[in-house]
Chains A and B, each alone.
Chain A
Amino acid sequence: MKVGIIGYALVGFTDEVNIRTDELVFKAAKAALDRAGLTREELDVSVITSLDAYDGITISNGLMAPGAGGYEKDATRIQGGGVGAIMSACASILSKSSRIAIVAGADATVFDDPIISNASYDAFFRRPLGMSNQAGYGLFATSLLRDRGITEKDFAALAARNYRSAAQNPNAHRKKSYSSEEILDSPMVYWPLRQLELGPVSRGGAALVLALEEKARELSRDPVWVTGIGGGSNPYYGSWSDLVDLKGLKHACRKAYSMADIKDPAAEIDAAEIHNPFAPFEIPVCEALGLCQKGQGLDFLLEDKKLINTSGGALGTNPPACGGYFRTIQALECLKKNDRAKRAVVQDSDINLGFFGETYHVLVLEKAGV
């Protein structure tokens, strides 16, 4: 039994939006339903991803629920990333509770990113020290620098690669390309990371329509199948080396690949969308996903032989809550545009809030009839 994606839509992504969250979700959800050729009545469940703190309302899914098509329907809200919500919709469908699901979300509210991220740390051991998402990225980047001999120039080269891709992506937030020199010239934020090596806060909305296999075949000429999906986490007070080793991501990966029956990801996977809110993160993630050998990540990425972050990655577009939807949609577009690409993997996480206690998700997509 598998789940098919039969329609999707994006609205945005930009610095700011001029409508409220409920209307933004509505626009994305309505467009996705239209593309799937369905009415709101035909939905069985509506799954939202959002975070109260990003929206400025406690129980913020309440504001979004009707816009996400959920009025008088079964619904839920998953905090911790778009692919987590996709996983919930898949579980609802595979459990036979639903046949057609919509996943939707929107990032519209303006908030102070470092403060919200700091508020996600406990009040006694980390928050008072000014721990935040970018501080954690800095720590991780230091590990790459000092433990693996990757250089600051390498960081900049990876960032430049993402910007080149983003410049060619009409859906990207930041569309300006930067050279390695310009990146190395940008101000240092959390050593060793510079401003242009860090992702923006992107605002916009997105939605996807999913259906049970037989329904998907009935409704769509070219559904893309979700063949594997998994989650994993890292402990809050855990070991630094385990964190840097991305054990949580590897756990998620094992589950997703086992479901999708992938034994040699380097050979079997053609494209990937990776959540890299700081440029060098692509290296350990590609290695953890098995797209290349451990220790080979930098070369693998700079060779550019596989379709990795053709969207421009999170340096190009980084919605705080619904980034996982954006990346999934970009992976779907990538599969559509590249005839020979059969399988894509989407890696999502909640590290927009920062490291420690973070959750990762991995999704495997497969084109029908290839």
Chain B
Amino acid sequence: MEYMNRKVAVIGVGNTEYTSNRRETRSKAELAYAAVKGALNMAGVGIADIEATVFTSVDGFEGNVRPARVLESFGQGLNIPLVDVNTGGTAGGSGVKEAIHMVSAGLYDLVMVYGSPTFQGVVDNQQVLNTASPPIFEKPFGLGAAHMGSLYCAGYMRKYNFTMEDLALVSAKSHKNAAKNPYAHLRKGYTLEEILNSPMVAWPLHMYEICPNSSGAVAMIFASEEKAKSLCPTPVWVKAILSITDTFFTGYRPYTGFPQLKILAQRVYHRAGITNPRQEIDVAELFNPFGPFELLEYEALGFCGQGEGVALMRSGATEIDGDIPCNPSGGTLCTNSGIAASVTRHAEVVLQLMGKAEGRQVKSPKTGLAHSWGGNDGQFHTVCIFSLKED
């Protein structure tokens, strides 16, 4: 294995149900406990067996500097190391990567990753997202999350002369899938018509093409080969994971696609031995807090050619029963618990491969791809490939 020292597998996932931050009555600590307990139960281990915890969140969105310190579900009572990874929206991907490295390196055999539900206490989200905007150069302009998303959708739409309906189709798919996902937040199943009739927030995005703020948490347990084989009937093996970095300023991005993701995908596919992603990937969870992002991601990940994202969507290939199902969970568009959402992309792929994706199960997937996006207007991406195949 050229890029891994030891094999690493996921043996447990814990999920809470998601709801809106306004309706949430569970405290942050209770959510943490529920997700962690769920993961431990599935893995068949206790908290005392965990050797290190990777905590992922974005402080600026949490109302607490270093929230990991004040939450107690992660084994601090047993004094285990608490690794605090914060890379913005990709913190989930980065946190998963950290855990994988720790196990692959031979430093630890059982590592837990916990994704904090972000924005939980925040009263005004756009303003809070604006705190991530480059100060002095971009912050004064009222550039919030919705605008970071709409810039990409505007550029993509104009470049290929797509209509708003072309773009909205993919959000309708997400909403339809989420309606069947017992863990999703928005389960109304908005139709194409309802989406196009919802208020325009930041051109060209309508309200139902933009994610909600969800409350809920997720935890995953990564294990060495020996532990995985002794504990888990269907360990899900990690084939490769990497991230990529762009410049800091919003102004430096080309808004017609995700070129950094394209470069990243090539590197990850090389490490995972994938030569034809469209054929070899059986399920993908792609980061789509803004529905149309999924189209840009199809292209960057090589599921179709440049400018062909809409055609791929229209072909039905990315539906749950298609040949490359994308976001069968409904994706981030329907459940956005902040950083937990970027861990969730990995958790969902694992659940799919384990055959445990209640209500949203894709038929017999063997290899899956999890993507996360984040930082100031998509400065970072991560891609991870999971597989049931050990070698």
- Does B77 contact A235, Cβ atoms closer than 8 Å? yes
Query: Complex formed: what's the CA distance from A121 to B68 in Å?
Result: 10
Once the chains bind, are A122 and B70 in contact (CB under 8 Å)? yes
CB of A273 to closest CB in B, whole Å: 19
Q: Is B84 an interface position by the 8 A CB rule?
A: yes
Whether, in the assembled complex, A328 has its beta carbon less than 8 Å from a beta carbon of chain B, the answer is: no
Q: Do A359 and B81 have beta carbons less than 8 Å apart?
A: yes
With A65-B248, A359-B81 as given contacts, are A236 and B70 in contact (CB-CB < 8 Å)?
A: yes
**Considering the chains assembled together, what is the distance between the CA atoms of A1 and B100 in angstroms?**
18
Q: Does B199 contact A (CB under 8 A)?
A: no
Chain B residue contacts of A247, Cβ below 8 A: 79
Cross-chain contact B4 with A97 (CB below 8 angstroms): yes
- Shortest A277–chain B CB gap in Å is 16
Q: A58-B58, A66-B247, A119-B65 are in contact. Are A95 and B76 (CB under 8 A)?
A: no
- Taking a contact as CB atoms under 8 Å apart, the answer to whether A123 and B379 are in contact is no
Does B371 belong to the interface (CB within 8 Å)? no
A107 at interface, CB cutoff 8 A: no
The verdict on B66 contacting chain A, using a C-beta distance below 8 Å, is yes
Tell me the complex Cα distance, A59–B86, Å.
7
A213 within 8 A of B: no
- A248→B61 CA distance, assembly (Å): 28
B98 touches A63 (CB 8 A): no
Nearest CB in chain A to that of B59: its residue: A52
Please give the distance in Å from A356's CB to the nearest CB on chain B: 7
Q: B259's closest neighbor in chain A, by CB?
A: A72
Contact A251-B131, Cβ < 8 Å, known A51-B59, A96-B104, A97-B242: no
A56 with B82, Cβ < 8 A, contacts A72-B263, A95-B104 known: no
B window 32-86: CB within 8 A of A: 52, 58-61, 63-66, 68-72, 75-77, 79-86
**CB neighbours of A72 from chain B (8 A):** 244-246, 260, 263
Q: Scoring B residues 315 to 346 as 1 if CB is less than 8 Å from chain A, else 0, what string do you get?
A: 00000000000000000000000000000000
Q: How far is the CB of B283 from chain A (nearest CB, A)?
A: 24
Of the candidates B86, B88, B104, which one forms a contact with A97 in the assembled complex, judged by CB atoms under 8 Å apart?
Answer: B104
Q: Which residue of A lies closest to B377 (CB)?
A: A62
CB-nearest residue of chain B relative to A91? B101
Question: Hey, which chain B residues are within 8 Å of A251, CB to CB?
Answer: 79-81
Contacts of A77 in B (CB 8 A): 85-87, 94
Residue contact B86 to A57, C-beta cutoff 8 Å: no
Contact with A along B222-242 (1 / 0, CB 8 A): 000000000000000000011
Q: Are B64 and A61 in contact (CB under 8 A)?
A: no
Q: How far is the CA of A75 from the CA of B98 in the complex (A)?
A: 11
- Inter-chain CA distance A237–B79, complex, in Å, is 13
Question: Is the CB–CB distance between A231 and B76 below 8 Å?
Answer: no
Tell me how far the C-beta of A178 lies from the nearest C-beta in chain B, rounded to whole angstroms.
Answer: 32
B80: chain A residues within 8 A (beta carbon):
232-233, 251
Does B243 lie within 8 Å of A75, measured CB to CB?
Answer: yes
Which of B68, B83, B245, B380 has the largest number of chain A CB atoms within 10 A? B245
Residues on B with beta carbons closer than 8 Å to the beta carbon of A357: 66, 68-70, 76
Q: Are B64 and A59 in contact (CB under 8 A)?
A: no
Complex partner residue of B77 from A92, A122, A238, CB under 8 angstroms: A238
Give Cα A220 to B131, complex, Å. 42
- Interface contact B1-A96, CB-CB below 8 Å: yes
* B105 adjacent to A234 (CB under 8 Å): no
B101 — which chain A residues lie within 8 A by C-beta?
88, 91-92, 94-95, 97
CB-nearest residue of chain B relative to A92?
B101
A76 touches B102 (CB 8 A): no
B3 within 8 A of A: yes
Nearest chain A CB to B3 CB, angstrom units = 5
Q: Which residues 209-235 of A have a CB within 8 angstroms of B?
A: 229-235
Looking at the complex, which one of A51, A62, A123, A356 makes contact with B88 (CB distance below 8 Å)? A62
If A52-B59, A119-B64, A359-B82 touch, whether A76 touches B87 (CB-CB below 8 Å) is yes
Q: Is there contact, CB below 8 Å, between B98 and A51?
A: no
- Assess whether A66 is in contact with B83, with CB atoms less than 8 Å apart: no
Nearest chain A CB to B69's CB is how many angstroms away? 3
In Å, the complex CA distance between A236 and B241 comes to: 32
Q: How far is the CA of A63 from the CA of B380 in the complex (A)?
A: 12
Separation in Å of the B191 CB from the closest CB of chain A? 35
Chain B residues whose C-beta falls within 8 Å of the C-beta of A119 in the assembled complex = 64-65
Across-interface contacts of A76 in B (CB, < 8 A):
85, 87, 94, 97-98, 243
B132 interface contact, C-beta 8 A: yes
Question: A90 at interface (Cβ–Cβ under 8 A)?
Answer: yes
B19 on the A face (CB < 8 A) = no
- Does A350 make an interface contact (CB < 8 A)? yes
* Residue B124 interfacial (CB < 8 Å): no
The CA-CA distance from A97 to B104 in the complex, in Å, is 9
Q: What chain B residues lie within 8 Å of A252 (beta carbons)?
A: 81
* Contact B63–A234 (Cβ < 8 Å): no
* Known contacts A51-B59, A57-B135, A62-B132: A71-B66 contact under CB 8 Å: no
For residue B305, CB closer than 8 A to chain A, the reply is no
- Complex contact B81–A61 (CB within 8 A): no
The 7 A-B pairs at the shortest CB distance, nearest first, are namely A58-B60, A231-B81, A357-B69, A94-B105, A95-B104, A59-B88, A120-B65
A58-B88, A231-B82, A231-B83 given; 19 more Cβ-contact pairs under 8 Å: A51-B59, A58-B61, A62-B380, A63-B134, A71-B245, A71-B246, A76-B97, A79-B84, A91-B102, A94-B5, A95-B102, A96-B2, A233-B75, A233-B82, A235-B77, A236-B69, A236-B70, A357-B69, A357-B70
